[in-house]
Amino acid sequence: MTDSVFEMPQWFVRLTAAIAVVVFVMITIFAYRSEEVKTEVLENNILSVLLKSSPNCLALEEKEVVYANVIDVSKMEALKLRKCFKKDNVFFRLTLSSFEGKEVKAASLIPLNVERLVPVCGSLPEYECVTWEEYALYKEGEKVVPGVLKVEVVRHV
CA distances from 26 to 12, 16, 20 (A): 21, 15, 10
Task: State the chain's mean pLDDT as an integer.
Answer: 83
Radius of gyration of the chain (CA): 27
22 and 51 assigned to the same domain: no
Strand partners, 95: 106, 150
d(CA 30, CA 36): 12
In this prediction, residue 25 has a pLDDT band, given cuts at 50, 70 and 90, of: very high
53 and 93 assigned to the same domain: yes
74 and 5 assigned to the same domain: no
Residue 36 has pLDDT above 70, yes or no: yes
The count of domains in the chain is 2
149 and 95 assigned to the same domain: yes
119 and 52 assigned to the same domain: yes
26 and 45 assigned to the same domain: no
Domain span holding position 50: 40-156
Average pLDDT over residues 1-25: 79
Higher pLDDT pick, 94 / 109: 94
In this prediction, residue 114 has a pLDDT band, given cuts at 50, 70 and 90, of: low
22 and 69 assigned to the same domain: no
Backbone region of residue 86 per phi and psi (left: phi > 0; alpha: psi in -120 to 50; beta: other values): beta
48 and 28 assigned to the same domain: no
54 and 27 assigned to the same domain: no
129 and 69 assigned to the same domain: yes
pLDDT attached to residue 7: 61
Residue 122 has pLDDT above 80, yes or no: no
60 and 4 assigned to the same domain: no
85 and 113 assigned to the same domain: yes
